[in-house]
Structure 1
Amino acid sequence: MTTDTALKPLGDAILAEIDAAQCTPPSYDRSALPTRVLHIGPGAFFRAHQMDYYNRLNADEQKWGVTAVALRSKGTSEKLNAQDGLYTLIKLDRETSCEIIAALKGVKFCDDSSAFQPFKTEDLQLVTLTVTEKGYCLNGDGELDEAHSDILHDLKQFDAPVSAIGWLTKGLALRRESGLGKLVVLSCDNLPGNGEKLEAAVLRFADLIDAPLSSWIRTNVDFPSSMVDSITPATDDALIQRIQTDCGYSDAWPIQREAFTSWVIENTGVSVIKELADAGVLLTRDVSRHEKAKLWLLNGAHSTLAYLGLAYGHQSVAETMENAELRSLVRAMMRDEIMPALSPPDGMDLEDYIEDLLERFANPAIVHKLSQIAWDGSKKLPIRLLNTIETNRAAGRSIEKLGFGVAAWMRFIVRMSRAEAHITDPLADQLLALGKIAKDESDDVDAFLALDEVFHDTLRNDEEFVAAVKRAYTDIIKTEQKSLRGGSGI
């Protein structure tokens, strides 16, 4: 990524110079903000989604300061700290808006001992996480994977944790030692029952480290579930250049998302969660229905579009939605095979939600790369597609179109393997090895189904499911061959 060195870099020093007609500066004094929120995993979604809510809250009452902790890469902390934690958020819709997010006080890297300091203060009331599904180090049953290399490391070196679970537990241990009490820990990842799973993982890890710590956590820490939603493309050179051209300053790490945003949190009665409702957060006693509708309809459709679109040679979601055949297939999958498996949340019309999603996917202002959505398929597939398939099979409903998403993922792995390309997935080596032995026939499916980390016996022994995936797999091979000849069609 490149920047124009002639432009002033974003930072506190130039806030007063920013043209509000081009980009809205913060309306509050950020210097006095307390660190009320600590966030683990300051990736694109967190900066585009949750930080926008805190920014709005601070316009009314200046008490929502956020400190973030990066677990994997120092790049984000270096870029954002050089800008005093400031960055630009662009909301892409028919009318684009631009604003400076100013609630982030700084980003620490996990090996910095000062990163734990907020746990030792009364100001801290909320700890949030966006570490992706794989960041929770869970096994196939959704429980802490005690054989995971990061967990094994943290159990041996608790003072220098590298996993989100280990790092969070260490912070909670320090809070107990400081004589401080109540805290809310909130997962904001696409993980069904994310609050329950996070709590169980932390408690199990604490049990293995210090049983009294586990007991303290049970008494003093609340783990509500949540659901988050907003399509957020990755930052690229084009976005950085756009900020320079439109706003007149240099921002090394801006972010973009669609205008739509949603945040649903389980209402456990804790005051800090209730306060978030002032910024539009929906509080409910049952997050699961919202969560399932979003995971199965939005994320399931997104993954299917990604893998099928790549088979056609498309690059983005919006481009894929211009393909009438794929748009029709995904719409039918959502209406005919996913919607019947759902119980609608209160106040949500699922048919309307589906049509809204299709329009959001087709938003030409959003360049959401299929390659980005394709990451971590081995972790995403069970949550986004396989759970729906199992539900439909148990009820005797169709899975024909859902099978295309599964088969397209398999073909994606084969193509990447043959191209000797890198894939981002915790099973990358195993998957690429499978891709190398594929023979371009339906029996390739059997090799993928043998992956215990992805498929359970219930599905691999289900003849109708296997047959549906094999039919789709064969059709996708034909599509790949037609694409090479300049044709198309599933």
Structure 2
Amino acid sequence: MSKNIANTALNQDVQQLGYDRSQLKSKIVHLGFGAFHRGHQALITHEMLAQEKSDWGIFEINLFGGEALITSLRAQDHQYSVSEMGASNTQVKVITSIVGSLHPELDGKEAVLSKMSEAQVAIVSLTITEKGYCVDLGSSTLDVENALIKADLKTPHAPSSAIGYIVEALRRRKEKNIKAFTVMSCDNVQENGALTKIAVLSFARLLDKNLGQWIEDNVSFPCTMVDRIVPAVTEQTLTQIESDLGVYDPCGIACEPFRQWIIEDNFVNGRPNWNLAGATFVENVIPFEEMKLRMLNGSHSFLAYLGYLGGYKHICDAMQNEAYEKATLALMLNEQAPTLNVPDGVDLEAYAHLLIARFKNPSLKHQTWQIAMDGSQKLPPRMIHSLCVHLKNKSAHKALILGIAAWMRYVSCVDENKISIDVKDPLLETFVGIYKERGLDKSVVKDLLAISSIFPRELLRDEAFVNDLTNAFQLLLTEGAKSAVASLEG
């Protein structure tokens, strides 16, 4: 037997919380066993289980890719490690809240559907990225032209999309008179519960109006706000984890010590007491969600595009440049915070300074390229919604302008040294077509602004805004990202 986390003596300072795993049931089915889930929901569930006698186990399912990860997880008895890397110290934890796993490529679609249909499953949670919901984020409607949705509508009993699996599992529960489960999105998408509800109900109604009505009457879709910086796993990450843990763990992840989970308390079939491990249940998640999306995620995107263009591989590298640090803090306090309506007692200035410290953490190698992915879907909630507030109020917004211009420059697919950028975005073909016609020229600004799924149409009609954005784009072309960021102090 090869050494792994389940059968090897680990380093003495590794945290292992004792509770009876044999009592756990697969009450939560989670779709998307990615790094963020491992460092957030699964870890918080694990720490909750150590606080009280409970049977809320998690059953992991990857629908697309990650077959090797699931195989590795099984080989080590569904245990894995999390390294919480602070600026000066690291805490390694072994997570044991997972009770099983499936993958349609390894086990077949029917096995996945059967598991989701089991009576004890009370929650189906999701970390499937924005794309996984198959929704047009601009119109907040199900994208019926999405290839997965079109295929699933033809063969609903053998689905491929997460939405298709959820609806088919609920259909089976309805037929067998089994109580419905709660569908809980944990993705970094604005009003993620509402968006999930739109996708699920729209898909179900296209198949069967009665099924759609039953889901609306019996299923809840709580919104959540999730926050923890979890960089993509690299071989360097795994090597460091092996050193800290005492054995190689192919499922291990590294993350920052900070974490936050705000959850709308709306569950139809029971829920764990995640609040015992630091989560907060509230009636309305939206104010917290907007705070995080604009201040943290908006600043992250700002740093990702201007950082990458400036030659910085990681967020912490960019933050070593004093101009980038000052610009990011100014963006948060002067341009993002004024657009928010947060509950009494929330200190946005303290939150901004906490975010700066998190971004500067040298132990976390969060790639600017990773954060820059899927910008067409991320820009609206992170920057454009704030921008529209400033345009309406006629208030200052020059950092937001530069951040959006940097995204436009980034999707040209070539950096300041004329080296290709591997842009990952569902609208990549559109960007390539625009740049092929216009070249690396400021005339692309209007063409990019005309993409209605990203930008409200009124922006293109605002001549002053278009002029400011075009000037910022030209500044990036002629002076480069570092000079453009430095100019924000003027």
Give 1:30's match in structure 2, choosing from 21, 24, 35: 21
For the 8 Å contact 1:7–1:244, the answer to whether it is kept is no
SS of the aligned residue for 2:16 comes to coil
Residue of structure 1 in register with 2:377 after alignment: 379
Compute the TM-score of the two structures, normalised by the length of structure 2. Answer: 0.92
**CA shift in 2, pair 1:53/1:120, >3 Å:** same
Residues 1:84 and 2:77 are matched in the alignment: yes
Deviation at 1:295, TM superposition (A): 0.4
Q: CA deviation at 1:269?
A: 6.6
1:108 deviation in Å?
1.5
Is 1:39 equivalent to 2:39 in the alignment? no
Pairing partner for 2:205 from 197, 204, 207: 207
Moved more, 320-329 or 262-271: 262-271
- The aligned runs of 1:74-473 (5 Å cut-off) are 74-93=67-86, 94-110=88-104, 111-139=108-136, 140-268=138-266, 272-273=270-271, 275-416=273-414, 419-473=419-473
Distance (whole Å) between structure 2 residues aligned to residue 70 and residue 344 of structure 1 = 36
What CA deviation, in whole Å up to 9, does each residue of 1:344-367 have, x standing for no partner?
A: 234311111111111111111111
Pair 72,346 (structure 1): closer, same or farther in 2 beyond 3 Å? farther
1:330 is matched by which residue type in structure 2?
T
Tell me how far apart the structure 2 counterparts of residues 32 and 137 of structure 1 sit (CA, whole Å).
Answer: 36
> Quick one: distance in 1 between partners of 2:147 and 2:481?
41
From the superposition, tell whether residues 430 and 64 of structure 1 become closer, same or farther in structure 2 (CA, over 3 Å).
Answer: same
Residue identity in the other structure for 2:61: V
Cα distance, 1:371 vs. partner? 0.7
The two structures, once aligned, show a CA RMSD in angstroms of 2.2
Maintained 8 Å contact 1:479/1:488: no
- State whether residues 274 and 283 of structure 1, in contact with CA within 8 Å, keep that contact through their aligned partners in structure 2: no
Would the aligned equivalents of 1:23 and 1:247 in 2 still touch at CA under 8 Å? Answer: yes
Quote how far apart the aligned CAs of 1:270 are: 5.5
Work out the CA distance in 2 between the residues paired with 1:408 and 1:488: 10
Residue ranges of structure 2 left out of the alignment (5+ in a row): none
Structure 1, residues 312-343: CA drift from partner, whole Å, max 9, x if none?
10011111111111111121111111111111
Cα separation, 2, equivalents of 1:304 and 1:359 = 16
Contact 1:414 1:435 in 2 (8 A): yes
Q: Secondary structure at the match of 1:233?
A: coil
Query: Aligned partners of 2:89, 2:98: CA distance in 1, in Å?
Result: 26
**What is the distance in 2 between the residues matched to 1:200 and 1:416?**
37
Change (3 A) 1:190 1:293: same
CA contact (8 A) 1:40 1:68 kept: yes
Q: CA deviation at 1:449?
A: 1.5
Deviation at 1:399, TM superposition (A): 2.1
In structure 2, the partner of 1:3 is none
Q: Which one of 5, 10, 33 corresponds to residue 5 of structure 2?
A: 10
- Residue in 1 that maps onto 2:60: 68
Contact in 1 for aligned 2:56/2:272 (Cα 8 Å):
no
Q: Which moved more, 1:347-356 or 1:293-302?
A: 347-356
Partner Cα separation in structure 2 for residue 231 and residue 27 of structure 1? 26
Cα distance, 1:242–1:446 mapped onto 2, change above 3 Å = same
Report the secondary structure of 2:480's partner residue. Answer: helix
* Distance in 2, Cα, partners of 1:122 & 1:172: 11
Query: In structure 1, what is the Cα distance between the partners aligned to 2:446 and 2:169?
Result: 44
Match of 2:49 among 33, 51, 58: 58
Question: Does the residue aligned with 2:205 lie in a helix, a strand or coil?
Answer: helix
| TM-score normalised per structure 1 | 0.92
How many Å apart are 1:34 and its aligned residue? Answer: 0.3
Instruction: Report the Cα distance in structure 1 between the residues aligned to 2:233 and 2:115, rounded to whole angstroms.
Output: 29
1:179-218: CA deviation from partner (whole Å, max 9, x where unpaired): 2114211111122211112112211111011112112112
CA distance in 2, matches of 1:152, 1:287: 32
Following superposition, the deviation at residue 428 of structure 1 comes to 1.9
- Per the TM alignment, residue 420 of structure 1 is displaced from its structure 2 partner at its CA by 4.6
- Is the CA contact 1:65–1:103 (under 8 Å) kept in the aligned structure 2? yes
| Structure 1 unmatched runs, 5+ | 1-5
Partners in 2 of 1:75 and 1:390 — Cα distance? 44
